[in-house]
């Protein structure tokens, strides 16, 4: 399993707008791509006072699935134009980690 991690930051006034965009358009659009081996996404959010940080963690079964989603330059971040309009800044590159152990309690 591969975890694809990405960070983006908004002004506090744009945080709810961005979260809604993720939940109603971007995440469903990712799922609709039908990437074989895509296993979902998690959204994390925290307020940092002057900005709000968002982290997404996408789950893929294999490197091949990551590349099917993101292309050969798979570290390049997927940031749709609508998202760029409300983000103050964001990672240009995503980080990828092999999941070595996962414990469920």
Q: Is 59 exposed, middle or buried (0-12, 13-18, 19+ CB in 10 A)?
A: middle
Residue in this structure with the two tokens 């997404």, named with its chain if needed: 56
Full domain range(s) for residue 23: 2-98
Mean pLDDT, residues 76-85 taken together:
93
- Provide the CATH number for the domain around residue 38: 3.30.70.100
Confidence of residue 105 (pLDDT cuts 50, 70, 90): confident
Identify whether 105 is part of a domain.
no
Mean pLDDT, residues 53-80 taken together:
95
Identify whether 46 is part of a domain.
yes
């Amino acid at each position: 399993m591969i975890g694809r991690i990405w960070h983006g930051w908004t002004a506090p006034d744009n945080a709810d707008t961005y979260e809604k965009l993720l939940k109603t358009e971007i995440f469903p659009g990712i799922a609709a791509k039908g990437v074989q081996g895509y296993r979902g996404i998690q959204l994390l959010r925290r307020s940092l006072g002057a900005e709000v940080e968002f982290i997404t963690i996408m789950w893929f079964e294999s490197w091949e699935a990551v590349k099917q989603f993101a292309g050969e330059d798979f570290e390049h971040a997927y940031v749709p134009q609508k998202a760029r309009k409300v983000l103050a800044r964001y990672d240009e590159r995503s980080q990828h980690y092999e999941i070595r152990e996962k414990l469920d309690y």
